[in-house]
Amino acid sequence: MITLAVGFQIVCMRLGELHSQLRKLERRLLGDSEADLAKLAEIRSLAVSGKQGRAVAAHRRHFGTSLAEAADAVRKLEGDAAARGA
């Protein structure tokens, strides 16, 4: 019974990874849409206002990225905004 539960959990994790990869591929194929650009502006404003955690969560939800990828993207957005402001 435990083996079945562990196997099911592994399958669910793999399906989640596959879903994330499919969303990334879809984004690459479709390019940046207006909605994506608006969401990036919202995420940038969260990051600049000191709400990095919320910015990372919003990035993960909208773009289907991993935690590390979302954190890197938020850092880049924050750095870009700081460079423009300086």
Query: Would you write out the chain's pLDDT as a tens digit for each of its 86 residues?
Result: 788 888 888 888 888 888 888 877 777 776 667 777 788 888 888 888 889 899 999 988 888 888 898 898 888 888 877 777 74
* Other C-beta atoms lying within 10 Å of the C-beta of residue 63: 18
Asked whether residue 25 falls in the same domain as residue 38, the answer is: no
Asked whether residue 23 falls in the same domain as residue 37, the answer is: no
Tell me which residue range forms the domain holding 72: 32-86
For residues 83 and 65, give the distance between their C-alpha atoms in angstroms, rounded to a whole number: 25
pTM, two decimals, is 0.56
For residues 26 and 24, give the distance between their C-alpha atoms in angstroms, rounded to a whole number: 5
Asked whether residue 54 falls in the same domain as residue 12, the answer is: no
Count of domains forming the chain: 2
Cβ neighbours of residue 55 closer than 8 Å, sequence gap 6 or more: 43, 44, 46, 47, 74, 77, 78
SS3 of 57, please? helix
Asked whether residue 22 falls in the same domain as residue 1, the answer is: yes
